[in-house]
């Protein structure tokens, strides 16, 4: 019996030592790809996909198909593309990407290519959701838009506002992709509003916050038209979208009851929030004392300086002037750091952050969670082991956001 137990322990130990989660497998595959070890990279990526299972993003299969093609494994590449043709996650943007992907060019001489591409395109169209674009506000002679995405199942009368934001930039090209990132809400009957805000380098963070508040007011004011309950609005975002979500969630709900526009006479408050790896403290980036908003050289090199290139209006000269004084800039930086705005009446917050995130320090989420705990704000904080600054590293926990909204948007 002892010998059997010993053997069992040895077997289990070997399995554990050999086992790798999908994040580490992807990392290894990516490293091999950079080293041009294509014939090793593709099988490794395939193993990572199998490990991740059903929660894997559909674009993973496109990446795998590209790697099989580069490795000269045509049949395996077509097998990966066939997974896309059969998936209910396939979207129009992915179909267009596959059609024009230079890495897949060697497949185009194969007789299977045209028919499979057609199947992918047809699947993308069949998976598409009913979408309608609305102008939720205007500034500087331009329209601010959001896209209302209707669920295919019976609508539950509740709304999820999803911020289309990365590096504090909004791009309409991401809206179709966003139906993948918001699929968990649509499948549960939520009406999703994908909101685009004024983007850096033209518009800084305070402008984006103002836009998003306006979008929430617009949705609430037109709740009857959208067939939603104005008291059941959730807010979600990724990275800069998470930062902006928390700024809106923690802001004082100041309502201008005398505003000329009736949309501005309603609340911009949301009832629940769920975000991925958000910046929260721009004056203490990665630790005490590193001032993000005054690090112009670093931010310029990383193409995010426009987000904190603050300007104030000079009514005498009728122009906007850049704020250059570091003390004044730090004051604004404090005001756009949600860690400083937490109060006990803030809505429940779910934050998911990877411990291998090299873009937004884990400390940013840890700091604001400590504040939420001090203020007794309901919250959930999940640290994803091995998770980088990539939303698809956050599965399966990311798929629990819909459960969070179910709980707090009753």
pLDDT tens readout for residues 192-218: 999 999 999 999 999 999 999 999 999
Residue 32 has pLDDT above 70, yes or no: yes
16-127 maps to CATH 1.25.40: yes
**Other CB atoms within 10 A of residue 120 CB:** 23
Burial class (CB in 10 A: 0-12, 13-18, 19+), 316: exposed
| Model pLDDT, residue 171 | 85
CB-CB contact of 182 with 149 (8 Å): yes
Residue 66 has pLDDT above 80, yes or no: yes
The CATH superfamily assigned to 131-408 is Alpha/Beta hydrolase fold, catalytic domain (3.40.50.1820)
Residue 380 has pLDDT above 60, yes or no: yes
Q: Is 262 helix (H, G, I), strand (E, B) or coil?
A: helix
Both tokens of 143, joined, read 């329209």
Mean pLDDT of the region 230-248: 98
**Other CB atoms within 10 A of residue 314 CB:** 10
- Residue intervals in the chain for CATH 1.25.40: 16-127
Mean pLDDT of the region 128-150: 93
| Model pLDDT, residue 176 | 66
Query: Peptide bond preceding 355: is omega within 30 degrees of 0, i.e. cis?
Result: no
CA–CA distance, 193 with 107 (Å, rounded to integer) = 38
Q: How confident is the model at residue 92 (pLDDT cuts 50, 70, 90)?
A: confident
Nearest 5°: CA angle at 321, between 320 and 322?
125
DSSP E strands in 74-231: the ranges are: 131-139, 142-149, 159-163, 191-195
CA–CA distance, 108 with 378 (Å, rounded to integer) = 53
Nearest 5°: CA angle at 406, between 405 and 410?
105
- Residue intervals in the chain for CATH 3.40.50.1820: 131-408
| Model pLDDT, residue 129 | 86
């Amino acid at each position: 019996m002892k010998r059997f137990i010993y053997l069992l322990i040895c077997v289990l130990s070997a399995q554990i030592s050999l086992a790798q989660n999908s994040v580490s497998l992807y990392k290894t595959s990516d490293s091999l790809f950079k080293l041009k070890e294509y014939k090793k990279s593709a099988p490794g990526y395939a193993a990572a996909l199998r490990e991740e299972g059903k929660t894997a993003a559909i674009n993973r299969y496109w990446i795998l198909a590209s790697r099989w093609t580069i490795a000269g494994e045509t049949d395996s590449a077509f097998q990966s593309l066939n997974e896309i043709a059969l998936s209910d996650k396939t979207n129009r943007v992915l179909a267009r990407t596959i059609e024009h992907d230079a890495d897949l060019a060697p497949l185009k001489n194969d007789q299977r290519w045209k028919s499979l591409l057609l199947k992918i395109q047809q699947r993308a169209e069949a998976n598409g959701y009913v979408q309608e674009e609305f102008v939720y506000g205007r500034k500087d002679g331009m329209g601010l838009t959001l896209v209302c995405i209707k669920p295919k199942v019976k609508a539950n009368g509740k709304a999820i506002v999803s911020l289309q934001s990365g590096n504090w930039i909004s791009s309409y090209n991401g809206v179709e992709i966003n139906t993948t990132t918001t699929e968990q809400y649509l499948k549960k009957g939520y009406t999703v509003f994908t909101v685009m805000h004024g983007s850096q380098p033209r518009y800084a963070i305070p402008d984006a916050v103002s836009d998003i508040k306006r979008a929430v007011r617009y949705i609430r004011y037109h709740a009857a038209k959208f067939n939603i309950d104005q008291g059941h609005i959730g807010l979600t975002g990724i990275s800069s979208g998470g930062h902006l979500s928390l700024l809106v969630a923690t802001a004082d709900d100041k309502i201008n009851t005398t505003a000329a526009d009736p949309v501005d006479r309603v609340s911009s408050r949301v009832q629940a929030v769920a975000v991925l790896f958000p910046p929260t403290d721009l004056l203490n980036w990665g630790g005490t004392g590193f001032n993000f908003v005054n690090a112009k050289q670093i931010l310029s090199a990383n193409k995010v300086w426009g987000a904190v290139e603050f300007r104030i209006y000079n009514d005498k000269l009728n122009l906007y002037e850049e704020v250059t004084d570091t003390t004044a800039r730090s004051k604004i930086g404090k005001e756009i750091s949600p860690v400083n705005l937490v109060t006990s009446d803030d809505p429940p917050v779910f934050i998911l952050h990877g411990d291998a995130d090299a873009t937004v320090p884990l400390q940013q989420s840890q700091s604001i969670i400590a504040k939420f705990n001090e203020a007794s704000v309901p919250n959930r904080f999940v640290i994803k082991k091995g998770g980088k600054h990539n939303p698809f590293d956050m599965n399966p926990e990311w798929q629990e956001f819909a459960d969070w909204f179910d709980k707090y948007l009753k």
